[in-house]
Chains A and B, each alone.
Chain A
Amino acid sequence: MSCTLKGKRILVIEDEYFIAMDIKRTLNDVGVDIVGPLSNIGQGLASASDDKLDAAILDLNLDGVMSFPLAERLAALGVPYLFLTGYDSWSLPHDFRAAPHVVKPFSSQQLIAAVEGLCGASAS
Chain B
Amino acid sequence: MLGLSGMRLINTMSPESPVIFEHFFELSMDLLATASLRDRRWHNVNPSFERVLGWPQADLMERPFSDLIHPDDLARSQAAIADVEAGDALTDFEYRVRCNDGSYRWIAWNMMPRKEDDLIYCIGRDITERRLAEERQAFLFNLGEGIRDASGPVKVQEVAQRLLGEHLGADRVGYAEDLGDGIHVEMTRDWTNGVPSLAGVYRYADYGQDLLDALRTGRTCIRHDVQADPLMSAAEKSSHAALGLGATINVPLTHNGKPLAILAVHFNGPHYFTPTEVAIIEDTAERTLLAVHRARSEAALRKSELKYRDLFNSMDEGYCIIQILQENGRAVDWRFLEVNPAFEKHNGLVSATGRTMRELQPAIEPKWVDIYAHVAETGESRRFEEDSAALDGRTFNLFAFRVGQPEDRMVAVLFRDITEQRRSEKELRESEDRLRVLVGELQHRVRNILTVVRSMFASTAETSEAKDDLVDHFVGRLDALARTQVIVTSSAARTVDLENLIRDELLSVGVHDGPALRIHGPDVALNAKLGETLGLVFHELTTNALKYGALKVSSGRLNISWKLDMDQGQPSTLHLCWSEEGVPAISVNPSRKAFGRELIEEALPYQLGADTRLEFRSGGLRWSISLPLNGEIDGRV
Taking a contact as CB atoms under 8 Å apart, the answer to whether B607 and A88 are in contact is: no
Residue of B nearest to A103 (CB): B447
The reply to whether B444 and A18 contact each other, CB–CB distance below 8 Å, is no
Cα A18 to Cα B599 in complex, Å, equals 9
Contact among B443, B454, B456 for A86, CB-based, below 8 A: B443
Contact A91 B440 (CB under 8 A): yes
Give A88 to B46 CA distance when docked, in angstroms: 131
- At the interface, yes or no: A47 with Cβ under 8 Å from chain B? no
Residues of chain B from 445 to 502 with CB closer than 8 A to chain A in the complex: 445-448, 450-452, 454-456, 458-459
Q: Judging by beta carbons under 8 Å apart, are B440 and A19 in contact?
A: no
Q: For the complex, is B603 an interface residue (Cβ under 8 Å from A)?
A: yes
In the assembled complex, B23 has its CB within 8 A of some CB on chain A: no
A104 to B454, CA, bound (A): 11
* Residues of A contacting B455 in the complex (Cβ-Cβ under 8 angstroms): 18-19, 21-22
A86 touches B606 (CB 8 A): no
CB of B622 within 8 Å of the partner chain? no
A105 within 8 A of B: yes
B440 contacts A22, CB within 8 Å? no
Closest to B636 in A: A64
Q: Is A87's CB within 8 Å of the partner chain B?
A: yes
B205 contacts partner chain A, Cβ-Cβ < 8 Å: no
Instruction: Check B529 against A63 for contact (C-beta < 8 Å).
Output: yes
- Give the contact-size bracket for chain A: 20 to 34
Contact status A105-B451, CB under 8 Å? yes
A86 contacts B447, C-beta separation under 8 Å: yes
Q: Does A20 reach chain B (CB closer than 8 Å)? A: yes
Would you call A61 an interface residue if the criterion is a C-beta within 8 Å of the partner chain's C-beta atoms? yes
Cα–Cα, bound, A13→B596 (Å): 23
Interface assignment of A17: CB less than 8 Å from any CB of chain B: yes
Q: Interface code B163-191, partner A: CB below 8 Å = 1, 0 otherwise?
A: 00000000000000000000000000000
A87 near B454 (CB under 8 angstroms)? no
Return the CB mask of B294-323 against A: 1 if under 8 Å, else 0: 000000000000000000000000000000
A15 at the interface (CB under 8 A from B): yes
Asked if B444 contacts A19 (CB within 8 A), the reply is no
From 4 to 23 in chain A, residues with beta carbon under 8 angstroms from any chain B beta carbon are: 15-22
Interface size class of B (residues with CB under 8 A): 20 to 34
Q: Tell me the bound Cα distance from A37 to B603 in angstroms.
A: 12
B588-607 contact mask (Cβ, 8 Å, vs A): 1 or 0: 00000000000100110011
> Please, which residue of chain B has its CB at the minimum distance from the CB of A90?
B440
Is B436 positioned at the interface, with any CB of A under 8 Å from its CB? yes
Given A16-B452, A91-B436, A104 and B447 contact (CB-CB distance below 8 Å): yes
Cβ-defined contact, B444 with A17, below 8 A: no
- Residues of A contacting B603 in the complex (Cβ-Cβ under 8 angstroms): 17-18
A61 to B451, CA, bound (A): 14
Min CB–CB distance A18 → chain B (angstroms): 3
Set of chain A residues within 8 Å of B445, measured between Cβ atoms: 86
A87, B440: Cβ atoms closer than 8 Å? yes
Q: Chain A residues with Cβ under 8 A from B458's Cβ?
A: 22
User: Which residues of chain B are within 8 angstroms of A39 by Cβ–Cβ distance?
Assistant: 606-607, 609
Please state if A22 and B448 are interface contacts (CB–CB under 8 Å).
Answer: no
**Min CB–CB distance B535 → chain A (angstroms):** 14
A64 and B607 within 8 A (CB): no
How far does the alpha carbon of A86 sit from the alpha carbon of B451 in the complex, in Å?
Answer: 10
Among the listed B444, B450, B529, B607, which residue makes an inter-chain contact with A87, where contact means beta carbons less than 8 Å apart? B444
- A100 CB to closest chain B CB (Å) equals 17
Residue in B closest to A20 when the chains form the complex, CB atoms = B606
State how many angstroms separate the Cβ of A27 from the closest Cβ of chain B: 15
Chain A CB within 8 A of B637 CB: yes
- Nearest CB on B from A111, distance (A): 11
Q: When the two chains form their complex, are residues A17 and B606 in contact, meaning their CB atoms are under 8 A apart? A: yes
Known: A64-B637, A87-B443, A105-B454. A19 touches B606 (CB 8 A): no
The residues of A with any CB-CB pair to B shorter than 8 Å are 15-22, 37, 39, 60-61, 63-64, 85-88, 91, 103-106
12 contacts between A and B (CB under 8 A): A16-B451, A17-B603, A17-B606, A18-B603, A19-B448, A22-B454, A22-B455, A22-B458, A86-B447, A86-B448, A104-B448, A104-B451
Assuming A19-B451, A22-B458, A63-B607, what are 18 further A-B pairs, CB within 8 angstroms?
A16-B451, A16-B607, A17-B602, A17-B603, A17-B606, A18-B451, A18-B452, A39-B609, A64-B637, A86-B447, A86-B448, A87-B444, A88-B443, A104-B448, A104-B450, A104-B451, A105-B454, A106-B451
